[in-house]
Amino acid sequence: MQPTRSANDSKEFRNNYTAAEMVNALYALESGHIGRGVTVGLIDDGVLNVSGELDGRISALSKDFGYVTTGSSTTKREKIGDAQSDHGTVVANILSGAANGAGGVGYAPGAEVAVLRISDWNADTQTETLTHFNEALDYAGANGIKVINSSLTNRASSAWGSAVARYAATGGLVVTAAGNTSADAPTDAPAITDANRRAVLFVGAIDPSTTDYKLASYSARAGTMMDRYVVAVGTHYTLDTSGAMTVFKGTSSATPVVTALVADILSKWPQLSGQQAGDIVLATAKDIGDPGVDPVFGHGLVDFQAALAPVSPTLSNGTAQTPLAASVMAVADAVGTVSLQTALSKVTVLDAYGRDYRGSIANLVVQPQVSDPRRIERRVRQINDRTAIAFGPLSGEFAFAHYRNSVDPRAIDATVTSGSVAYAGRDLAVKLAWNGVDSLQGDTMGLAAFADGVLAYAPQADGSIEVGRRFAGGTLGATFAFGRIGDSSAQAVTLGWTSGTTQIRGSYISERGTLMGMPTGAGALRLGSGARTVMAEAHHSLALAGAWRLEGYGSLGVTQLKLAHGSLVTDATPLVASRFGIQASRPAFGGSISLGVGQPLKIESGAARLTYASGYDLASESLIYDTAQASLAGTRRLQLTGGYTRVGDVSSLRLGVMHDTRDGSTSALAGWSVRW
């Protein structure tokens, strides 16, 4: 046995440890699904409340349908339990016995039991006859009892089948024993018709075991009823009519386990019918025989945890439903997550059976740290072996990576990793580049944030066409940038003016599938389907004393989300974002050193409106919707950088280091290349 796991995992609970463990029964107790508020009809020979097992939970709907015969006199008994109720009493205690230190804990200890006593008693012969099944079924249907436990068989009576059909019309479910006949099908299978099939759930018995699953030798198999058949353990310790502990075995012992699971489901979701709860039991049973529904175990072993947990839950924004399993919100480093996670901490979902669950999905808001690795990877590709060519006004530069694909030292492949081709005329310049370098400021081995605003917003836009024309003492330029990574893409148009060491630019950036370079997620939690940004930026450099040179940049942009159909993000205000950086550099040690500080892209203001289900209205059986404004403002983040570069005719050395003040991390990168 496992160590005690909780207060519910008591000595009394462990009187049926193996039987309970095999069906994950502790999960129901721990989650509070104990049948409270549900009335279970118990068709049997009556119930005697012993040792307080059913205190306060014998329903006022209980009824004795039986008679007592003494000599030539037959009179109505009007007693729901006595010493002759030896079968119904143990069944009721397995179903709903209290956690009171006596016997065993019932599988639905909060459920009420409507005792439907159907036996007649002959005092002269001391014999009992079970004769009032059909009256009890009609009574249960008329009184709105959704589920009935019948740990009895009816010898395939057609009259019983007709009574079940009438009960089926109310949406009710009869959970009935398959029978202790070792037969190939349940005893009452011949009475099942299209009219009553969905209203019957047959229960077979398996032996208690922690190592394998074996149908009890006495249990009837699923056979022709395998689509309406499940199993549970058929051996339980419980209290008999004298209050003594006894062992009760048979399909009669397994049946109340399944009935209790139905009651546990209905206690949490009273909007369901008994038959709908039965469908859940069937669908979530553990397959323990041949794959799929089989003629021995039917659907398999009932599983309380699987039946009470959501089955294929969906998120809804009031207009569309999307699987929760396919939903995640990914946000860029520039975006704040706290307000989003707070808004999503109390969300209601519906599962495939219309059951409502309320809880937190805040953990589905994630902030993958992919922007830094992407920038570093880009820089690594740029610092590989380089080749430059020039022919008049035409020039080009290309970086190569070399790969060895076998132990043969000659088996080396070269791949172009970045490059550019340029034309420079007297007044006109044109440049085409892919995976090009930052066009505003030399970064520190890829560790500093991009100074180029387009790359900061859309790092996947790694291809560009630039056109510049000298005009009135400066250069007027236009750039079209483009690129894609996976399913995302970005395009940007930039107009700029350069005069001396000052550059001013304005850009329009369109992203598909990303927000500020980060994929927006999937399903109902997508943070839009992309974005449109208008941005202004400036760059300036100046010489300082001691051969130092100072460069600075900054930008301010306004972004509008492109809304995604079906997402809980149903609107958004404009997002205002800023970024800046300063870098000082000078010649030293035969190369150049640099020191810098920068703030990567950060949202300063703006919010997303989330529309989500916050509750469930039982009267209308519909979700209740709410909205929340979630701020997307990010957290201030500064990066301190330092670097050293030395480029010679034969070799090049580059070193870089960056310290992030927000998370305290430090990163370093080194690159060395040799030409021959």
Catalogue the active-site residues. Answer: 44, 87, 252
Residue 676 in tokens: 């021959």
Q: Please tell me the chain's helix, strand, coil percentages from 3-state DSSP, rounded to the nearest 5.
A: 20, 40, 40
**CB-CB contact of 385 with 399 (8 Å):** yes
SS (H, E, C) 164-202: HHHHHCCCCEEEEECCCCCCCCCCCHHHCCCCCHHHEEE
Distance (Å, whole) CA 392 – CA 527: 49
Burial of 335 (0-12, 13-18, 19+ CB in 10 A): buried
**Pairwise CA distance, residues 323 & 312, whole Å:** 7
Render 274-317 in DSSP notation, one character per residue.
HHHHHHHHHHH-B--SSSSSBTTTBT-B--HHHHHS-SS-EEE-
Residue with tokens 């109310």: 170
Q: Are 216 and 209 contacting, i.e. CB atoms less than 8 angstroms apart?
A: no
Report which secondary-structure segment, H or E, holds 40. Answer: strand 39-44
Q: Which helix (H) or strand (E) holds 221?
A: none
Cα–Cα nearest to 481, from 497, 457, 503, 501: 457
Bin 646: left if φ > 0, else alpha if -120 < ψ < 50, else beta: beta
Q: What are the phi and psi torsion angles at 511 (to 5°)?
A: -115, 140
Distance CA 282, CA 293 (A): 10
10 Å CB burial of residue 659 (0-12, 13-18, 19+) is middle
